Structure 1
Amino acid sequence: MNMLHSDNIEPKPICTPTPAGHEITPRDRRFGREEGYAPGKYWQNGDPVATAFYNCLSLTFPRGEAFFIESVREFRDQTPAKLQKEIRAFVQQEVIHSREHLALNRRVEENGYDTSRIEQRITESLGMTKGRPKITNLAATMILEHFTAIMAQQFLANPRHWKDSDEETADLWRWHALEEIEHKGVAYDTWLYATREWSRWQRWKVKALMMLVITRNFWGNRWNDTLDLLAQDGMTGWRVKLRLLKFLLVEPGIARAIIIPWIKFFLPGFHPWNEDDRHLIQRAESEYEAALTGRPATA
């Protein structure tokens, strides 16, 4: 059944709070390409635990974002013109993100880490999507895009996430975060359009069940992957696990910080743009330009 088109049924209008006039702007930036650039093994504040977590997260992006692109593209051509334009910009942003994280991932390997087990887990996870209904993969993309958006909000709202980090690498993450916020409604709006003939209960049931499964897998895999890299540095045992738990839940506490936004996903009338955080995009852009020019940032 074609989820997006019927000759006998007019599409039901779907009202979403995506801000009117909101533009998605691909920014073709490159990080860490300067000759002699060497951020150090523990680029995140000299902390092996924090560095390992972000390195593992980066390792998921190139193939993960290729999956997001493919999932949304499957529905692009039958969506309204405005959404088609947003999908094209979303795809452009994700392609550039993949390129920059591939460069970061090469630096991880150059620091002596064997990432093959992590890559294998990613391969196995993506392998499960083969042969699934296209709408299921779109739902997974919509959920993972929400994950990245609520984490991105924390990365920009709380400077402590990048305190004393290698500035070039931190700039990469902040740039990625602002674009994740910028396009956070695209996959969700595509999902709303693709399921516009579903009942509210059916739509909620599918997205809620998938969110629970994906949440378990996301954090389980990030936990195991981080411990994998730490073990390669000779860091094992309960003390290391306690340090990782503290990093996730206490300081800076990214997992704790996104609990409320995660819960809101299950509420009636949810949409990513219910939280209008465009001011974070503007602030991050201002700070980036100020760093380049030496002028003070503007709010």
Structure 2
Amino acid sequence: MTFPIRTPDDLHIEKRDLKFGRDDAPPRWWHSNDPGRTAFFNALSSTFPVGEKFFMTAVRHYRDGTAEPLRSQIDDFLYQESMHSREHVVFNRQAQDAGFDIASAEDRARRTIAWAKRRSPIQQLAGTCALEHFTATLAHDALANPEHLGGASNEARRMWQWHAIEEIEHKAVAFDTYLHATRTMTPFRRWLKRSVVMILTSLRFHYVIFRNTADLLRQDGRNDWATWKGLLAWLYGRKGLMRAMGLSIFTYIKPGFHPWEIDDRSLLKDALRLLEAGKPKEMAA
């Protein structure tokens, strides 16, 4: 049994080798001069290098059994994720240069990935699908609502915009690989596995991100109710990033779901224009 690839035919998963933040270090509170927003994004970034290597391993495990166009899409996915990992290593180093100790955050991410690696390959792939859905949802909302990154320093904003663009471009690759890998399962078993893994992954994701955020806020003496009240209102308010992500879980566990039910192609075009417009003049020339 094979599944048709539902990724739009005219979508190209672009291989971009872009570098950010090599010249000017961002301020300590690089997002809106706000310790809460800065801590949240730094906490998220601290998980990416180890997390994206895990995604690459989980998807690569099934590559050789796939046919075109999925096999080429997997190769493009692997390239993009390797670039994301590299740039977040740099971003995390900048957070350290600004005075943050992110060792505990990185260690928490490593322990979570070590736990995930003890699961079967198909469970690891299902976990990757769940986390790719989260990142694609966060990416969509970050690009659709410019205020989410509007207060960030220029290079940090461009880096997160670039990451968001590519998360949308390859948002269906892990999912299509999962459909291929589970092609001999019954539809119910395939749905049940990805849904259960999504729920467990969601719980762990929230725990890791908010523990990491608390660790970073504590270093600023801001791990208090006033800071958390403002941050949670920003994250879970009517247009909040985490509100959108939480609601997207219900979309994901719907039988028959596919990531390209949400067509982001027009959003991608607009975001790419913004990314290009934000280049320093010497780079744009």
Task: Bin the TM-score by the shorter chain.
Answer: over 0.9
Structure of greater Rg: 1
Q: What residue is the counterpart of 2:168 in the other structure?
A: 181
Q: For residue 297 of structure 1, what is the aligned residue in structure 2?
A: none
- Residue deviations 1:243-273 (CA, integer Å, cap 9, x gap): 3321221275111123443211111210000
The aligned amino acid for 2:117 is: K
- Percent sequence identity is 41
Letter in 2 for 1:129: A
Which is further off, 284-293 or 241-250? 284-293
Task: Give the equivalent residue in structure 2 for 1:239.
Answer: 226
Alignment-derived partner of residue 6 in structure 2: 17
Residue equivalent to 2:76: 89
Kindly indicate which of the two structures has a greater share of residues assigned to helix.
2
Is 2:190 aligned against 1:208? no
| Matching of residues 188-227 of structure 1 within 5 Å | 188-227=175-214
Please report the TM-score for the alignment, with normalisation by the length of structure 1: 0.90
Matches within 5 A, 1:68-83: 68-83=55-70
In 1, the alpha carbon distance for the partners of 2:223 and 2:76 equals 43
Match of 2:18 in 1: 29
Aligned match of 1:160: 147
**CA separation in 2, counterparts of 1:131 and 1:42?**
37
Residue identity opposite 2:260 in structure 1: W
State the distance in 1 between where 2:109 and 2:247 align.
27
1:62 to 26, 29, 49: 49
Q: Is the 8 A contact 2:30 2:38 kept in 1?
A: yes
Residue 16 of structure 1 and its aligned partner are, at CA, apart by 4.2
Counterpart in the other structure of 2:235:
248
Match of 2:35 among 43, 48, 58: 48
Work out which of the residue numbers 250, 253, 273 in structure 2 matches 1:263.
250
User: Secondary structure, in 3 states, of the residue corresponding to 2:184?
Assistant: coil
Q: Match of 1:253, as an amino acid?
A: G
Note the C-alpha offset of 1:21.
3.4
The letter of the residue matching 2:245 is I
Match of 1:289 in 2: 276
Query: Could you list the runs of 5+ residues in structure 1 that have no partner in the other structure?
Result: 1-11, 295-299
1:115 pairs, out of 102, 113, 131, with 102
Q: Among 157, 163, 167, which residue is 1:170 paired with? A: 157
| Residues 161 and 252, structure 1, Cα contact 8 Å, conserved in 2 | no
CA contact (8 A) 1:160 1:252 kept: no
**1:95, CA displacement in angstroms?**
0.6
**Which structure 1 residue ranges, 4+ long, deviate > 4 Å from structure 2?**
none
Residues 18-39 of structure 1 show CA distances to partners (whole Å, capped at 9, x for unaligned) of 11232111111111112xx132
Q: Match of 1:7? A: none
Instruction: Compare 247-256 and 267-276 and name the one that shifted more.
Output: 247-256
SS at match of 2:26: coil
CA shift digits 1:102-136 (9 cap, x unpaired): 10000111111111211221121011123321111
TM-score by length of 2: 0.94
Counterpart for residue 126 of structure 2: 139
Q: Is the 8 A contact 2:36 2:228 kept in 1?
A: no
Per-residue deviation, residues 198-254 of structure 1 (Å, max 9, x unmatched): 011101111111111111111121111101100011113332332332122127511
Aligned equivalents of 2:49 and 2:280: distance in 1? 31
Distance in 1 (CA, whole Å) between partners of 2:107 and 2:276 is: 39
Aligned residue for 1:3? none
**Amino acid corresponding to residue 33 of structure 1 in structure 2:** R
Is contact 1:16–1:271 with CA below 8 Å preserved after alignment? no
